[in-house]
Copies of this chain bind each other. A is one copy, B any other.
Amino acid sequence: MDFKIAVLAGDGIGPEISVQGVDVMSAVCEKFGHKVSYEYAICGADAIDKVGDPFPEATYQICKDADAVLFSAVGDPKFDNDPTAKVRPEQGLLAMRKKLGLFANIRPVQTFKCLIHKSPLRAELVENADFICIRELTGGMYFGEKYQDNDKAYDTNYYTRPEIERILKVAFEYAMKRRKHLTVVDKANVLASSRLWRQIAQEMAPNYPEVTTDYMFVDNAAMKMIQEPAFFDVMVTENTFGDILTDEGSVISGSMGLLPSASTGESTPVFEPIHGSWPQAKGLNIANPLAQILSVAMLFEYFDCKEEGALIRKAVDASLDENVRTPEIQVADGAKYGTKEVGQWIVDYIKKA
């Protein structure tokens, strides 16, 4: 294959982990005889500082023309502390989602055996957890009509049938490729939008007779994910609920720094770590590059390059087994490895494989 990759490094630790992702991408392409080229583009706080827009038109064009976007992280505390800031890095994220039509956010929640002790949950509860959260990413209250003045405010949780059908289709198809168990999460006992979600899911379910589909209220799902995470295989939900549940899912694994995600839809898909820009760690060579590197695995898998993805996953597992780890997951008396060193080790592993 011939990959044209848009690289959006963003803020904080973004640039450091981005380099490791790119190096792994290149190493795998070389090994498997794929061509790859990179176009670099600015986003986030970096882009606000440079051109006053967290997702500039030029960046959009580069993304649109690419086969995939390798994204790192955006966000800078200087904006958090300034409620009057008119443009904020997060708006760049939302603009990217909307402009690229990234309606499906896919987040695998997976535990790594050697990191189970890092989970806030008791080991026996999480060790078998292995599920995928699918979050609708371009609808709902995020993009519905809004109003605010000094005395009242509202957001509109608006969904149309096509928006719901396309995301449920993604979810049913993921379930077919996995353990064939789909949980549709909503609040159909209260919300009209949820009732439409549930109705459409019930209409579609007969088309996937092998899939066991169940329906769960979002408050129950928030509990179940803690009490029995191994219950889930594929979970799908709307944007706002998904924001909360995917983050909840990511911490139960205890491996936040290792979890990648994909956002797919109408145009170029985006692959990125689930963690943020960790501004405090910027430039210190301590950030874990594994979530970024596993995003590259997801990228290959998206293009049906299964062996490529598998090799990256094997390299990551090997690095963990050999204690080639960044400080936050290093064992008590283990050697110190930085962002670069972990990335380099994985690149070497891939080359030698």
Contacts and interface: CB of A to CB of B under 8 A. Distances in A.
A152 B251 CA distance: 34
Interface of A is mostly: helix
How many copies make up the complex?
2
Interface in A22-77: none
A266 interface: no
A189 B88 contact: yes
Interface string A81-99: 0010000101000100000
A196 B88 CA distance: 18
Contacts of A248: 222-223, 226, 248
A120 B227 contact: yes
B153 A195 contact: yes
A118 to B, nearest CB: 10
A148 interface: yes
B152 A155 contact: no
B157 A155 contact: yes
A243 B141 CA distance: 17
Contact of A154 (B152, B159, B187): B159
A298 to B, nearest CB: 21
A247 B222 contact: yes
A191 interface: yes
Contact of A153 (B119, B150, B187, B196): B196
20 contacts: A88-B189, A90-B190, A120-B226, A141-B157, A142-B190, A146-B191, A147-B192, A148-B192, A151-B160, A152-B196, A154-B157, A154-B192, A156-B157, A157-B157, A219-B244, A223-B250, A223-B251, A226-B248, A226-B251, A241-B244
Interface of A: 83, 88, 90, 94, 119-122, 125, 141-142, 144, 146-148, 150-161, 187, 189-193, 195-196, 198, 202, 218-220, 222-223, 226-227, 240-241, 243-248, 250-252
